[in-house]
Amino acid sequence: MEKIKNFFWKMMLPVQNERGAQSLEWLGIAALVILVLGIISTAISNSESGITEIITSVIESISEMIG
């Protein structure tokens, strides 16, 4: 029984040591949001048309895909 208990504690030790994991997840999400916003702002700044024309184009493309 003691061997089983020791084995269990050895396997659970890495799982219990998760300090800081959530902050890394939030940093990853923040980096992803910044990346998406950068891509969107680059697409808008390179476009000669306005934002409404881009949105209309995207909506038309989606409606063509749907059917």
* pLDDT range class, residue 22, cuts 50, 70, 90: confident
Q: How many domains does the chain have?
A: 1
Residue-by-residue DSSP string for the chain: -HHHHHHHHHHHHHHH--TTHHHHHHHHHHHHHHHHHHHHHHHHHH-SS-HHHHHHHHHHHHHHHH-
pTM score, whole prediction: 0.47
Q: Which domain holds residue 52?
A: 20-66
9 found inside a domain: no
15-24 as b/e: b if 16+ CB within 10 A? eeeeeeeeee
27 is a domain residue: yes
Q: What confidence score (pLDDT) does residue 29 get?
A: 93
